[in-house]
Amino acid sequence: MIDLDPDRLLPVDPSQRDVARRLYQAVRGLPIVSPHGHVDPRMLLENAPFDNPAELFVTPDHYVTRMLHAQGVPLDALGIPRRGGEGEVAGPRQVWRTLCEHWDAFRGTPSRHWIEAELAEVFEVPIRPSAADADLLYDRLVERFALPEYRPRALFQRFGVEVLATTDDPSSDLAAHRGLAADPSWGGRVVPTFRPDGLLDPSLPGWAGRLEELGRAAGVDTGRYPGYLEALADRRRHFREHGATATDHGPPDPVTVLLSHEQAERIFVEALQNLATPDELRAFRGHMLCEMARMSCDDGLVMQLHPGVLRNHHPATQRDFGTDRGADIPVAIEFTRSLRPLLERYGDHPNFRIVLFTLDETTWSRELAPLAGFYPSVYLGAPWWFLDTPDAMLRFREAVTDTAGFAKTSGFVDDTRAFCSIPARHDTARRVDCAFLSRLVVEHRLDEEEAVETAVDLAHRLPRRVFRF
Amino acid sequence: MIDLDPDRLLPVDPSQRDVARRLYQAVRGLPIVSPHGHVDPRMLLENAPFDNPAELFVTPDHYVTRMLHAQGVPLDALGIPRRGGEGEVAGPRQVWRTLCEHWDAFRGTPSRHWIEAELAEVFEVPIRPSAADADLLYDRLVERFALPEYRPRALFQRFGVEVLATTDDPSSDLAAHRGLAADPSWGGRVVPTFRPDGLLDPSLPGWAGRLEELGRAAGVDTGRYPGYLEALADRRRHFREHGATATDHGPPDPVTVLLSHEQAERIFVEALQNLATPDELRAFRGHMLCEMARMSCDDGLVMQLHPGVLRNHHPATQRDFGTDRGADIPVAIEFTRSLRPLLERYGDHPNFRIVLFTLDETTWSRELAPLAGFYPSVYLGAPWWFLDTPDAMLRFREAVTDTAGFAKTSGFVDDTRAFCSIPARHDTARRVDCAFLSRLVVEHRLDEEEAVETAVDLAHRLPRRVFRF
Amino acid sequence: MIDLDPDRLLPVDPSQRDVARRLYQAVRGLPIVSPHGHVDPRMLLENAPFDNPAELFVTPDHYVTRMLHAQGVPLDALGIPRRGGEGEVAGPRQVWRTLCEHWDAFRGTPSRHWIEAELAEVFEVPIRPSAADADLLYDRLVERFALPEYRPRALFQRFGVEVLATTDDPSSDLAAHRGLAADPSWGGRVVPTFRPDGLLDPSLPGWAGRLEELGRAAGVDTGRYPGYLEALADRRRHFREHGATATDHGPPDPVTVLLSHEQAERIFVEALQNLATPDELRAFRGHMLCEMARMSCDDGLVMQLHPGVLRNHHPATQRDFGTDRGADIPVAIEFTRSLRPLLERYGDHPNFRIVLFTLDETTWSRELAPLAGFYPSVYLGAPWWFLDTPDAMLRFREAVTDTAGFAKTSGFVDDTRAFCSIPARHDTARRVDCAFLSRLVVEHRLDEEEAVETAVDLAHRLPRRVFRF
């Protein structure tokens, strides 16, 4: 049985736990602000019941598939079809059984906590996954999925989501967002996020094709550099009209470069002809990050920067099963020198804002907190991806608070495509922040009433303010 | 109200806190040894009353100005004049109000703790800064400043400072130090520190001019390499005669290079003619660090090395407001390979001593503790600048004690220009070291009497011994 | 007196300590599996009494000699002879006195704990080293050494060692292992480990000579590349026949390279003629790591990778006293890109297994846990060398569990040449793992019975399984 203790993740010392409990009481019921994630808005538009536990909890979640793969389970046994179409793909009940048989491997991981919280609190089936109970649990979940109160829109409301940001292709017509806005029976707030990576990095396969798409979407000739810039600005406008408040950028590194218009134009032309050198392509990518900053000064969209992952580390997995299967591995990154050109030009601009995320913890105290502790435009993003865990969140606060305080951090960002895990993820962040704050209280570094106020800031006020909702 | 709890910063578990309290009792009243800092010795020579709270607590303290700047406050609103002289500069009362209005931004930071401790303990005005109380607090402080017991010399005595090291230009005549030494009414010990960065790095603007100054100060022709070396040795002698026991070095990285006399001389000549390449200039800087080590073997001055900061990250701030405004951002650094040439030649010399500081925490367990755990000359500097905080100090002990023990660490170094914060900073370090030691006691890794002895070592005996006072 | 508290290293909070005690009870008596270390098997073959305390505890242990050297003690005062043979070498009683006089320098270090545990628990002489008791302690120990129950084989049995892996030269005839296997009075399991560093890196001095030795051992002409590969495969077979289950690799960095047979052969030929460039030599070393992986797919030997140490940082020490004197200093390392070629080809192979160790803690959460959390072949090695300490072990679990869980970690590896410290080292690891698990229990992240099961996994089942015993 899953038995979610009301004190879970709170510190063990009795007097500190008492403080943490009081802080947590002040934030546990606050609405959820989700400024960055990967939920498909069509799920809310269509509001269809969930298919089955495998397709909800296993197959699309690379946190889960990577861990099972690490235990020796082939990806097709997890319901992921081979790209060529050949081979058997396990059916959903079999996929679910495989997860349940390997449940022990998830001990100590946040994936286990999120899924157990979803089972117990979202679907009210508090059975711990195991080989013995796999079928029972599967059947109970399928029963739940059929009921109206477990459809996406009902859950959105039950979860108390105040605003949910999705991640979208710049050429997208945002039809699902439009559909939701036009639906009188829908009262939630779901906003798109402008994610132009594929357009800004000419070294990525398919760049030219995506430029053409962009041109069609914007009604502009993107075969020339000025048209390309104009089309990007146009699509940003389109996104803002559909509620977007932010852009999102995931380059391999945070290098920024200030090219002249002429230099940039020259590389753009060469890149379209496949004549640009790797150094030129990289400079162009760094330049376009600065261009995005320039446009943010104009239109107020908040930049989010998520650098430092080597995508598709295992080429055979990408070839056979596609991307986002758990084979993305972080690398060390450097922010201080890399961001200097961008911040030199835009760091002091009153309208500019950039939120910096990292998978390299060493940058927290060394680079990111000092940057956020000087530049008015720079905010420290919450622990992200591999670091979106109780212990890493605590390390984050310990590493950055001394230098940047609380007010220059972004508040929690769930970054998930697993819609039903959203409450458990935000709840985890709230508990951990209360645990951290309770230590400051019992060490007499913060009064308890200040800690309550700070906890509410972190859970609700800061993400609203930082992401301009 | 500021309510400084007697148990602040001590661990929360009751039995551990009991141990920590006993350790702290053994060290709280010990004299302060301050082997590295930036207090202006003229302040003690002149012993004038402090002007006003803004000029004492805000304008000159880049920890404070950077944080307010990060909240969107322009630097001229903090009393910092533009270099061109144009524009309005806020007056001291307005500057103080601005700090008070933004006091919440400092929650969880050491700056808050230091300033609140100064208000409550040094000036006995325990009013927490806030928009409402800004003027009241300002007026109360101004009243205090007028009283004789709040003048610098009285505070120096009240603080229990046994020795205070300043940081000084090699060409300085050390007039303030001489003045203090000659003053029969002054009994304190204030010693200079030889800081030759501007002379050792020919890539810095103004190098040639500073060489001329050095030549005048030493009465030697510094236009030739042997004269330059002779002048440096002469000024070191001058500093030692005025009480100096150490040199201080803050290069961008800790690279050291062993050039032959002929190679060094050739680059020196080229550098004076602006003909040296960047690689040559960097090699020369690395060579001069080795030359400083060589001279230390002769004269016994302890080398302090503080590398790894990219100074003036935001050029517009430097252009408009000058240096030391909070825009210095750390970078990753490498010690193992960089220091090898220097340590290869001098690491085993019985008279040589070097204290290594870092802003890159990753080097503590990986490089610095192993180096200090082998070389008799190498000591581990205390957590510095952005890391001079309760949580980082604890991480320091956790990272290095296993490999280097306690005896190869330097003891606390306040590195401050904020004279009145000295007691709060040393007190913080003492509390945190007691917290760390109390854990070793309750985990049965150290007897309590050994822990008491170690706490006294860290607070008093080690800095005296390491810095050769 | 040494007073080893039964609760040592367990967490201080009373309710958490209760949990930790129960977990520890479940593992404290389990047999010791030691999959990686440097004990000389002849010690067990010959079963001679230990000579004296200096030769057992000081002279051969670079953890101890480096720390004393760091306090200013010359290495010849520790019984290490100069290579040239000149100079006085201290006798064993004098060496022991020197250790005892400097015992305070070891406060807070694991060396102190290991040695005190050896004195109190292995030799039942619970006298803390000190100048006053040095001779008494020396004499008591010498008495013990003379008794049969303190000879190596008796201790092996008393320690409860289930299996002990040594580290061996590929050209070794493994005579000691054969001797043990053939001895009817010996029932223990001692297995060799294949350590081919000196053969795989043609940039190391003496490479060609070692190739000849290898050729003689394998009866193959290693002057040609195919013969060289054949000889390596042959010696792996020889090792497997004598019980080996693993290979061990300690290159300066983990770079791997996939060369074609022709490319590799060309560099091999050039290297033998001293014509290869440094880049070619490095590529060849990286290629040979991939060749070892290829052979592991065939023969099932588990690869261990221990990269990232700059050996013999102080050349004068190496010249005068040889290697392994404590002057090996870690450097930052990169795994994600470096291992990609090897993992691209072998990472998914069902027979392949690689255990990754590091001295650069930053790679735990950033690179190693994500790699082990995707690749079925990749396991996370235990904290190693400078990180084999209570606090670093805890940081390891905190850094990797979120992403890799427990099942992809290797279990404890003592890596020691100090035979008598083996029980204390494994006991430390067990206590720290119980401390970590107890936190998960009291924070309601793991049920206590799951924690017990996990503690037993970490202490016993995992190392058996991971290293294929």
Provide the shortest C-alpha distance from residue B110 to chain A (in Å): 6
Q: In the structure encoding, which two tokens stand for residue B238, read together? A: 């001058």
Q: In the structure encoding, which two tokens stand for residue B333, read together? A: 């650094």
- pLDDT at residue A3, as a whole number: 86
Residue C307 confidence (pLDDT) above 90: yes
- pLDDT at residue B175, as a whole number: 97
Provide the shortest C-alpha distance from residue A335 to chain B (in Å): 8
- pLDDT at residue C184, as a whole number: 96
User: Position of tokens 């304008």?
Assistant: B59
- Average pLDDT of B223-229? 98
- What's the pLDDT tens digit per position in B237-260? 999 999 999 999 999 999 999 999
List chain B residues with CB under 8 Å of A401: 108-109, 391
Report the distance separating Cα C34 and Cα A313, nearest Å. 32
Is C314 within 8 Å of B348 when comparing Cβ atoms? yes
- What's the pLDDT tens digit per position in A318-364? 999 999 999 999 999 999 999 999 999 999 999 999 999 999 999 99
- What's the pLDDT tens digit per position in B266-306? 999 999 999 999 999 999 999 999 999 999 999 999 999 99
The domain covering A154-466 belongs, at the CATH homologous superfamily level, to Metal-dependent hydrolases (3.20.20.140)
Residue C85 confidence (pLDDT) above 90: no
Is C314 within 8 Å of B440 when comparing Cβ atoms? no
Q: In the structure encoding, which two tokens stand for residue B313, read together? A: 């990250």
Which residue out of C340, C374, C400, C401 would a mutagenesis test of the A interface target, given it has the greatest number of A Cβ atoms within 10 Å? C374
| Closest CB to B7 among A370, A404, A444 | A444
With a pLDDT cut of 70, the percent of chain B lying above it is 100
- What's the pLDDT tens digit per position in C395-427? 999 999 999 999 999 999 999 999 999 999 999
Beta strands in B81-237 (DSSP E): 161-165, 190-191
Q: Please say whether the beta carbons of A428 and A390 come within 8 A.
A: yes
Which residues on adjacent β-strands are paired with residue B305? Answer: B249, B356
Residue C327 confidence (pLDDT) above 90: yes
- Average pLDDT of C325-350? 97
* pLDDT interval class at B459 (50, 70, 90): very high
Task: Return the sign of the alpha-carbon dihedral for residues B35, B41, B46, B50.
Answer: negative
- Average pLDDT of C110-120? 98
Which residue out of C395, C445, C457 would a mutagenesis test of the A interface target, given it has the greatest number of A Cβ atoms within 10 Å? C445
Provide the shortest C-alpha distance from residue C463 to chain A (in Å): 16
* pLDDT interval class at B85 (50, 70, 90): confident
Residue B3 confidence (pLDDT) above 90: no
List chain C residues with CB under 8 Å of B365: 361, 386-387, 392
Residue B183 confidence (pLDDT) above 90: yes
- pLDDT at residue C106, as a whole number: 98
Least CA distance to B396: which residue of chain C? C391
Is B343 within 8 Å of C313 when comparing Cβ atoms? yes
Report the distance separating Cα C65 and Cα C57, nearest Å. 10
- The values of phi and psi at residue B412, to 5°, are -70, 145
Chains in touch with B (≥3 Cβ pairs < 8 A): A, C
Please provide the DSSP assignment of A346-403 as one string: HTT-TT--EEE--S-THHIIIIIHHHHTT-TTEEEPPP-GGG-SHHHHHHHHHHHHHH
| Closest CB to B365 among C10, C317, C361 | C361
With a pLDDT cut of 90, the percent of chain C lying above it is 98
- The values of phi and psi at residue A468, to 5°, are 60, 40
- pLDDT at residue A157, as a whole number: 98
Residues of B with CB under 8 A from a CB of C: 13, 15-16, 332, 334, 336-337, 340, 343-344, 347-348, 350, 362, 365-367, 369-376, 378, 398-399, 401-408, 439-440, 442-446, 450, 454
pTM score above 0.90: yes
Least CA distance to B114: which residue of chain A? A445
What is the CATH number assigned to the segment(s) B51-147?
1.10.2020.10
Provide the shortest C-alpha distance from residue A160 to chain C (in Å): 25
- Average pLDDT of C90-101? 98
Beta strands in B300-449 (DSSP E): 302-305, 309-310, 329-330, 354-356, 378-380
List chain C residues with CB under 8 Å of B406: 107-108
Report the distance separating Cα B49 and Cα B51, nearest Å. 6
Is A13 within 8 Å of B10 when comparing Cβ atoms? no
Report the distance separating Cα A302 and Cα A300, nearest Å. 6
What is the average pLDDT score of chain C? 97
Least CA distance to C386: which residue of chain B? B403
- pLDDT at residue A84, as a whole number: 83
- Average pLDDT of C35-52? 97
- What's the pLDDT tens digit per position in A225-249? 999 999 999 999 999 999 999 999 9
- Average pLDDT of A367-371? 98
CA A329 to chain centre: 16
- What's the pLDDT tens digit per position in C127-138? 999 999 999 999
Is C403 within 8 Å of A386 when comparing Cβ atoms? yes
User: Three-state SS for C176?
Assistant: helix
Of the candidates A222, A228, A279, the one whose C-alpha atom is nearest the C-alpha of residue A255 is A279
User: Three-state SS for A303?
Assistant: strand
Is A362 within 8 Å of C362 when comparing Cβ atoms? yes
- Average pLDDT of C246-257? 98
* pLDDT interval class at A87 (50, 70, 90): confident
What is the average pLDDT score of chain B? 97
Least CA distance to C14: which residue of chain A? A13
Residue B84 confidence (pLDDT) above 90: no
- What's the pLDDT tens digit per position in B124-160? 999 999 999 999 999 999 999 999 999 999 999 999 9
Q: Does the interface predicted TM-score (ipTM) exceed 0.85?
A: yes
Q: Could you give the angle at the alpha carbon of B228 between the alpha carbons of B226 and B233, nearest 5°?
A: 95
The domain covering A50-148 belongs, at the CATH homologous superfamily level, to uronate isomerase, domain 2, chain A (1.10.2020.10)
- pLDDT at residue B88, as a whole number: 87
Provide the shortest C-alpha distance from residue A446 to chain B (in Å): 7
- pLDDT at residue A242, as a whole number: 98
* pLDDT interval class at A115 (50, 70, 90): very high
Task: Return the sign of the alpha-carbon dihedral for residues A340, A344, A350, A351.
Answer: negative
Q: Please say whether the beta carbons of B438 and C5 come within 8 A.
A: no
Residue B70 confidence (pLDDT) above 90: yes
| Closest CB to A108 among C371, C372, C446 | C446
In chain C, domain spans: 50-148, 154-466
- pLDDT at residue B390, as a whole number: 97
- The values of phi and psi at residue A247, to 5°, are -115, 165
Is B350 within 8 Å of C9 when comparing Cβ atoms? no
Residue C84 confidence (pLDDT) above 90: no
- What's the pLDDT tens digit per position in C150-197? 999 999 999 999 999 999 999 999 999 999 999 999 999 999 999 999
- pLDDT at residue A86, as a whole number: 81
Residue B318 confidence (pLDDT) above 90: yes
- pLDDT at residue B169, as a whole number: 98
Is A71 within 8 Å of C347 when comparing Cβ atoms? no
List chain A residues with CB under 8 Å of C404: 70
